Structure formats: structure tokens, C-alpha cells
Amino acid sequence: MQILSALDAISPALSRTKLVLFSPFRVGRTWKLALTAYLSAASSAFLPTMFILLAFLPEARMLGGLGLVAAVIVGVFFFTILFALLFYVFTRLRFASFDITLNHGVYVAPAWRKYGSQSLKWTLFKILLGSVVTALLAGPTILIVRQFIRLFQSMPSMNFSSDGPPPPEVVQAIITVYLGFAAVYILFGLFFFLSSLMADFIVPSLALENTTLGEAFRRLGKIIRNEPGQFTAYAFLKLGLGLVAYFGGTLITEIVLFIVALIIAAIAGVVGFLLHLAGVPNDVLIVLAVIIGVAFYLFFIFYAVFIVVGTVMTFLESYTLYFLGGRYPMLGDLLTASTPPRPPPPPAPFYPAYAPPPPPPQVL
């Protein structure tokens, strides 16, 4: 497979997405594969941020005594363990989604069973990495939260004018706190993006060859050293394409939801009017309308939204495969083997050779 630039990998990624999810479109299969890709997005990073709550145990004791302290400790450990188990499930689905997109798979269970050891190894590494990042950001987060608490505790003693702006020191304190929160969120978001980017290049080596983490990172470092420009272009294009595809898909989903809701409302209105003429009580009609509306909304959310976001995630997975395929021969060979050949072009119509008419006979 030839090496594709970050820009050239977009077109085949679109074709691969169509092939995996919509060739052909089946209501159950397409939703199942899209749901797998959707859930795999939750494996981007693991951040045990609930442990930051343990820094506020003195405040919890002041508010609720030792009972509240015990509840906070139990809750932190319980939910952190629960989230870690779910993170392992999402990580394993990430490997399954990779396998389905690469091999044009149609079943989730076989892909799930193939990558037990690889997904466990990658999960433990991501948990360790996320714990280190959380520990580094815990200090600034705790400081900002404590400043936020002190600010609101001191507000009753401040001199507020009923017809004038708040004191400048209050405005400055509020701005400082919110800027601090924004900085922390940006740092966490940056970590999520870098962690997702790292997985794009580590997961293929783990999945296909079950390499060590050191070898997988060595290969990633080689790509960055050899092609820093293309790697940077890939990172920014992936971010931009993901945002454009997500917001575009969300806009289309909202438009479709609005149109379909209008059609259903019109039909339900006509049926409801006929039932009203038939003597059905208004209370019964209102309950039926609420049930139909809630059922339609839930169906749309759990079907259409999963398909839209799952399609975006499958496209991003395909984009990674085509960018990396030419740089990872084993991956490129598998990608080529699972791509159906293009049908030959239709034969050109037959036109008989044109022969000019004979010259008219000369009259002597």
C-alpha cells in the first residue's frame, strides 16, 4: 500500500466508512457496529478525578460529621473502581472497533474475543498514565476550588450596592476563579486529545502483533521523527475533521428530527381528533400523546444519534488506518485485502469504423 499524506487519506477513509457501515445498510447491523464505535470513544483516557474529593474531607466533616466523611470515602473508591471496569470494557471495544473497520467485519463478538490480553495491557497503562496526570493537576484544582469556596463564604460580609455594580475586588476574584477553572479544563481536554492521538498509533501494533508497549512507542517515535510535518498535519486534520463531522452530523440529525416530529405530530393530531369525535376522553388522548412522544424521542436518541456519532468515530478510525497503512506494511496489506476491488468500467459502445462515401463518378 502506498504512503498517503494526511490530506490524501481523507477520501479513502470516507469510502471505508461507507463500506463498513452502509454497504449494505441494515437496521440492526449498522446500529450495532455504530454503537461499538460510539462506546469505544470512551476509552480515550482514564482520569480518577474523584480522588480529588478526598482533599475536602475536613469540609465534609464540618458539614456532616464522620458519617459524611465515610460516605465520601466509600463513594470515591466505589465509583473509581466501577469506572475502571467500564474503562476496560470501552478499551476492549476500541480494539474490536479497530478490527471491524480494518477487516470489514460484521460481528462484534469475534472481534471482542480476539484482544483480551492486548486490551488489558493497554487499559492498565492508560489507568496509570491518567492517575499520574490527575495527581499533577490535583494541586491547582484543589487550590481553585478552595478559592471558589472562600469567595462565596465571604460574599455576605461584602458591601454590595443595590443600584450599582459589585465591588471591583469581587469581580476580579470571580474572573480569577473562572479563568483558573478554564485553564484546568483546557489541560484535561488537551490530555484527552493527546491520549486519543497516542492510541491511534499504539493500538494497531498491540492488536496485530501484540508487541510490548515499548516497541509500540518506539514505532510511534520513529514516525514522528521521520515525518514531523505529516504527523502534525494528521493531528490537526483529525481534530478538525472530527469537529466538522460531529457538528455537521448533529445539525442534520436535528433537522431530520424536526421534520419527522412534524409528520408524526400531524398524523397523531388527525388520529387524536378522530378519537375525540368517537368519544375518547381528553385525559386518555393526552396520556397517549405523551407516551408516543416519549417513545419516539427515545427511539430517535438511541438509534439515530448512536448511528451519527458512531459513523463519525468509524470515519476517524478509517482515517487513521489509511494514514498509517502505508507506514505499517502489515496493516496496509490487511487493509488492501479487505477492500473489495472496484468493478471494471462498462465497455465502450461499439461504433463501426466510418468510411467516407465514394466520390461521384466523373462525367466525360
pLDDT of residue 164 exceeding 60: no
pLDDT in tens, 211-226: 999 999 999 999 999 9
Q: Please enumerate in sequence order all residues whose Cβ is within 8 A of that of 105, keeping only pairs 6 or more positions apart, or say none.
A: 99, 111
pLDDT of residue 156 exceeding 70: no
pLDDT in the model for residue 232:
93
The domain segmentation of the chain, as residue ranges, is 10-337
**Mean of the per-residue pLDDT values for the chain?**
84
pLDDT band at 349, cuts 50/70/90?
low
Question: What's the predicted TM-score (pTM) here?
Answer: 0.80
Which carries the bigger pLDDT value, residue 40 or residue 175?
A: 40
pLDDT of residue 90 exceeding 90: yes
pLDDT in the model for residue 131:
92
Measured CA to CA, the distance from residue 238 to residue 10 in angstroms comes to 10
Among the residue ranges 86-95, 164-173, 314-323, the one predicted with the least confidence is: 164-173
pLDDT in the model for residue 353:
57
Among the residue ranges 209-213, 231-235, 250-254, the one predicted with the least confidence is: 250-254
Cα 20 to Cα 14, 98, 226, 303, 340: the distances in Å are: 10, 11, 31, 17, 11
pLDDT in the model for residue 303:
82
pLDDT of residue 97 exceeding 80: yes
pLDDT of residue 352 exceeding 80: no
pLDDT in tens, 99-115: 999 998 888 899 999 99
Q: Which of 227, 226, 219 is nearest to 200 (CA)?
A: 219
pLDDT band at 59, cuts 50/70/90?
confident
pLDDT band at 203, cuts 50/70/90?
very high
Q: Please enumerate in sequence order all residues whose Cβ is within 8 A of that of 208, keeping only pairs 6 or more positions apart, or say none.
A: 330, 331, 334
pLDDT of residue 69 exceeding 90: no
What's the number of CA atoms in the CB half-sphere (13 Å) around residue 319? 25
pLDDT in the model for residue 202:
93
pLDDT in the model for residue 24:
83
